[in-house]
């Protein structure tokens, strides 16, 4: 050991590393308690208002609770087995799948197209505000407005009559072939404004250098969009897709208001089906089981999208 090493060892001995570590641990512990104290209101709210009801709902799905009794009777997987044999559940699941696909495709395509169309044009902000207005309306109010637009003597049929020259009398919200597309159109009308604004934000975050370089290299507008804009916009599009799918999957207000007179209303989506079973029939345990299935499917979809998001993030880094 040379003189310098000897003096370092002496110094470390005098500092007492273990005591420093103990002090650090104590400080970290204090910091954690302070952080916990600051977080406790939020943790308490999330725990009491979100986690406890979710866990309780999962428990209820395994009971025989119907109307006034059965809340403490264990039923095993009885409710889940019943779901598989119920034709209305199958119809609701199918319609929900349509909603998921539609809520991915239409808001994204239309929102993206509108963002590209209005970006940089004169009165851009005015157009953006007008298209965003439906998003700030309550879905129930939107449902009531469109309920009357789609009425047999409503605005849509009258407009079509003027265009076609013949009286048009389509029962948009009464026919199984038109009711889901009609309500999806309303959903798209309401959500497309938000998608457009988010895409515009994504577009404005794209660096100008690669765009200018591509132009100098003689790339066409389509090539610039396909090879530069779209890849750089992917993180925004994935995030918008997640928001859109969750909104489409859990939509209830529009279906409830606009489908009120449609004979097959209970099968319009899993959320409506769950409401009918639980609240109309008092089949609380069965309704809870349906809610668990809805939650699981949403979790799966969200997980797939989170994985996609990570991959896209890696690609664009």
Partner 1 sequence: MNKYVRSVIAGVLGATMIAGVATADDVQLYHDKGFWSEQLQAVGDASAEATGVRIVENPYATAEQYKAFIQASIASGDAPQMFTWWTGQTFTELTQTGKIAKLNDVWADMVASGEYAESAADLFTVDGDIYAVPLLLARWVMLYNKPLFAELGIEEPTTWDELMAAAETVKAAGHTPFNATVHEGWRGFIWFQELMLRTDPEAYLGLHNGTVAYDSEPVRRAFEMWVDMYDKGYFTDPRSNEEIEDFAGGSAAMYLMGEWVVGSLAASGLETSDLGAFIVPNVDPDAPSAVIVEGGPVVISAAAKDNPDVMAALKFFSSVDGANAWAEASGNYMGNLKADAPNPIIAKINSDMTEAGTATYNRWWEATPPDLQGEFVAELNRFMLDPTMDTAEDVMARMQALNAEYWADQ
Between CA 168 and CA 68 the distance in angstroms is 49
Nearer CB in complex with partner 1: 118/147: 147
Residue with tokens 């100008």: 208
Does 264 contact partner 1 by CB under 8 A? yes
Q: Which residue's entry shows tokens 């918008």? A: 240
Shortest approach of partner 1 to residue 65 CB, angstroms?
Answer: 7
Sequence length of the chain is: 317
Q: Does 163 bind partner 1 (CB under 8 A)?
A: no
Contact positions with partner 1 (CB under 8 A) in 57-96: 65, 67-69, 71, 88
Q: Which stretch binds partner 1 (CB under 8 A): 31-39, 129-137, 145-153, 192-200?
A: 145-153
By beta-carbon proximity to partner 1, the closer residue of 190 and 267 is 267
152 binds partner 1, rule: CB under 8 A: yes
Question: Would you tell me the crossing angle of helices 87-118 and 179-204 to the nearest 10 degrees?
Answer: 40
Is 286 a binding residue for partner 1 by CB under 8 A? The answer is: no
Given a contact cutoff of 8 angstroms between Cβ atoms, the answer to whether 115 and 200 are in contact is: yes
Give the shortest CB-168-to-partner 1 separation in angstroms: 14
DSSP state of 266: G
The residue count for binding partner 1 (CB under 8 A) is 27
Q: Which ranges of 165-226 does DSSP label H, i.e. alpha helix?
A: 179-204, 208-216, 221-224
Which of 292, 296, 194, 289 shows the shortest CA–CA distance to 247? 194
Is 281 among the residues that bind partner 1 (CB under 8 A)?
yes
Chain residues that interact with partner 1, rule: CB under 8 A: 65, 67-69, 71, 88, 147-148, 151-152, 171, 174, 260-266, 275-276, 278-282, 284
């Amino acid at each position: 050991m040379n003189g310098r090493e000897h003096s370092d060892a002496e110094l470390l001995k005098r500092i007492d590393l273990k005591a420093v570590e103990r002090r650090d641990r104590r400080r970290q512990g204090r910091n954690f308690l302070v952080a916990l104290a600051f977080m406790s209101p939020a943790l308490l709210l999330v725990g009491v208002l979100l986690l406890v009801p979710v866990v309780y709902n999962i428990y209820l799905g395994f009971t025989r609770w119907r109307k006034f009794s059965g809340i403490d009777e264990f039923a095993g997987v009885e409710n889940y087995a019943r779901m598989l044999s119920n034709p209305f559940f199958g119809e609701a699941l199918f319609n929900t799948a349509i909603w998921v696909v539609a809520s991915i495709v239409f808001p994204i395509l239309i929102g993206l197209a509108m963002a590209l169309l209005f970006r940089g044009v004169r009165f851009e902000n005015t157009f953006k505000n007008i298209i965003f207005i439906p998003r700030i309306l309550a879905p129930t109010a939107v449902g009531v407005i469109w309920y009357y637009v789609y009425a047999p003597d409503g605005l849509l049929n009258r407009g079509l009559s003027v265009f076609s020259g013949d009286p048009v009398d389509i029962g948009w919200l009464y026919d199984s072939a038109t009711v889901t597309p009609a309500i999806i159109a309303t959903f798209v009308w309401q959500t497309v404004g938000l998608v457009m604004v988010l895409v515009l934000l994504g577009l404005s975050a794209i660096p100008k250098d690669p765009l200018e370089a591509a132009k100098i290299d003689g790339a066409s507008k389509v090539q610039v969009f396909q090879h530069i804009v779209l890849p750089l916009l992917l993180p925004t599009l994935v995030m918008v897709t997640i928001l859109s799918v969750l909104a489409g999957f859990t939509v209830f207000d529009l279906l409830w208001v606009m489908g009120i007179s449609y004979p097959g209303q209970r099968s319009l989506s899993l959320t409506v089906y769950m409401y009918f079973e639980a609240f109309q029939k008092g089949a609380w345990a069965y309704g809870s089981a349906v809610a668990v299935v809805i939650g699981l499917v949403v979790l799966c979809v969200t997980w797939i999208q989170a994985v996609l998001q990570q991959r896209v993030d890696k690609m664009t880094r």
